[in-house]
Amino acid sequence: MISSGGICMREKVLFLCTANSCRSQMAEGIANHFFGDRIEPFSAGTEASFVNPRAIALLQEIGIDISGHRSKNVDEFVGEQFDYTITLCGDARDNCPLYSGGGKRLHIGFADPAKASGTEEEIMEAFRRVRDEIKDALSGYFMK
């Protein structure tokens, strides 16, 4: 946390992915739920699309509601300062090389669950796996 005249301010974190539909939305929801007292999370994509209904359902399984989220393009955040910008896929890392919003830039890559195929249960299991990987990675990083 940043201290400003004795007042603790949460660090601003921007999670970037391609479509801002799954991974970055899940990261924002998880970060807000588990670390919202320490960080102020945001998410965006190199291309805005929609919030994937499976991502919404899988976060609801662990008590997190992102049903009110909307997909945002990274351009909405131009000029804003962030303590951390975290890319969650190679495309965002490679296509936003100049965008950092200040602060530290990190890459923590995850498979895209929206590209999973198979039965509905197999697809949902891919979403669960990525959700849990994101939760574990953020816990490992923000619990330090």
Read off the DSSP letter of residue 38.
T
Interatomic CA distance for residues 34 and 31, integer angstroms: 5
Interatomic CA distance for residues 85 and 137, integer angstroms: 15
- CB atoms inside a 10 Å sphere around CB 94: 11
Tell me the catalytic residues. 17, 89, 96
Which H/E stretch holds residue 123? Answer: helix 120-142
In contact, 16 and 24? CB cutoff 8 Å? yes
